[in-house]
Structures are given as structure tokens and as C-alpha cells.
Copies of this chain bind each other. A is one copy, B any other.
């Protein structure tokens, strides 16, 4: 049974990296002495090592060690044997391509399914969905598939943004993009605003944080889901 926190963003405006999530991270990884960080999404092109050190610093006061998955000769063994896993944000295409290339996608899925504590932020949350097809990221690399972990029975749109009614920009809104997704795909999409996260525990998926989420279902008018509501049976 899954034990996971899937957050829209790692960072809130005016706060430090992961600051608003520290209480949840402390609880999630309370039984861990060492967790593995998956740095492959490389936000802004940062190196695996620099990204891992950034996380080590942010979580430095918590009572567990953090190691980067890139440090291990055998990433499959490392994920099987570690106490907990955190996948950071950045570019979802880059993350997914690397997870397939290292052949760790099924391992990661299995470890989360059997209840190993998992934290995802942004791209690390996108990959928990059925596919990565509702990412906002640029396709900077061609992954062998858009299928992802399927821990959730729906897709995620992280950093969800409401249409800016004052904008004169003619690029498509997030809502229009998701509508286009639904002309070809049937799974629901959860528009997860910054500051929201999904908590997976005791067999349930619950929306946490103070904001509502916007839910998109094929051929339905989008609607708002309030904090602390369940999404377990959304699909």
C-alpha cells in the first residue's frame, strides 16, 4: 500500500526549497536512515551532484542521510534496498528518458506500490500519473515512451495555473491544453496548484494543503475539489 507525498512544487514564493513541506517530509521518512534522491530532471540544467547537494542541504536537519541515485553503480539494487525515495523536479522528458534508459521504471513502481516512502515534487509528481502527457515541460529529449508509473489512476498537471483574464497573450491557457489532451486521451487530469500535494496512505489518495484542485474529466465541465477530499476513485 502506497505511502507517498506528491507535491505540485518544491518551493513556494518567498520560501526556501522544500520549506513548506518539511513537516510532511519528516513524518514520511520517519523510519528511514538513508533515502535516495533521483536528480535526473535537472532543473535549469544543474548537474546530478549539485542538485543532490542542494537537497542534502535543505534536508540537513532531518535525521536521515540523502544519497543521489547517480552515485550508485547498480541503480536497480540501490532502489530496491533503500529506505525511502525522493524524485525532484525539473524537466519531465529528461527524467523519464533517464529512468527508462537505466531500466528503473518498473523497480521504482514496485517499491512505491509495496509502501516504500516516496516523495515527488513537480516532475517527480508527474511521473506518478498514468502518463507524462500533461506535463508543462519542453520536449528537450525523446523518451522511449510517455507512459509513467501509474501509481495514480489519473494524470497530474503540476504548477497548475488559472487562466489570466487580464492577459493579452494568445498562447493557449493550461485549460485549453488539457482540453486538447482530452480529445485523444480519457484519463482524468488533476490540476494541482502550487502549495497543494496528494497524500497516499492507508489505500487512499487525499488532497492536502489549503487550496482546491481543478479536476478535468473528458467531456465534462472542469470542477474544483476541496482540500482534504479523496481522489482515490476519481477514475
Q: Output the least CB separation between A73 and chain B (Å).
A: 24
Chain B residues near A9 (CB-CB < 8 A): 170-171
B139 A133 Cβ-Cβ under 8 A: yes
Which residues between 92 and 145 of chain A lie within 8 Å of chain B, taking CB atoms? 93-94, 132-142, 145
B138 A91 Cβ-Cβ under 8 A: no
- Copies of this protein in the complex: 2
Chain B residues near A185 (CB-CB < 8 A): 140
State the CA gap A185–B138 with chains docked (Å). Answer: 12
Q: Check if A2 is an interface residue, CB within 8 A of chain B.
A: no
A184 B142 Cβ-Cβ under 8 A: no
Chain B residues near A42 (CB-CB < 8 A): 180, 183
Q: Output the least CB separation between A163 and chain B (Å).
A: 13
Instruction: Please classify the interface of chain A as helix (H, G, I), strand (E, B), loop, or mixed, using the class held by over half of its residues.
Output: loop
Which residues between 38 and 67 of chain A lie within 8 Å of chain B, taking CB atoms? 42-45
Which residue of chain B lies nearest to A92 when distances are taken between CB atoms in the complex? B139
Q: Output the least CB separation between A209 and chain B (Å).
A: 14
Using C-beta atoms within 8 Å of the partner chain, give the interface range for chain A: 35 or more
State the CA gap A11–B171 with chains docked (Å). Answer: 10
Q: Output the least CB separation between A214 and chain B (Å).
A: 15
Q: Output the least CB separation between A183 and chain B (Å).
A: 4
Q: Check if A35 is an interface residue, CB within 8 A of chain B.
A: no
Chain B residues near A138 (CB-CB < 8 A): 133-136, 177-178, 180-181
Mask of A185-204 contacts with B, CB within 8 angstroms, 1/0? 10000000010000000000
Q: Check if A230 is an interface residue, CB within 8 A of chain B.
A: no
A-B residue pairs, 8 tightest by C-beta: A45-B183, A13-B168, A159-B171, A140-B181, A138-B177, A9-B170, A133-B139, A91-B180
Report A's interface with B, CB cutoff 8 A.
9-14, 42-45, 90-91, 93-94, 132-142, 145-146, 158-159, 161, 168-172, 176-185, 194
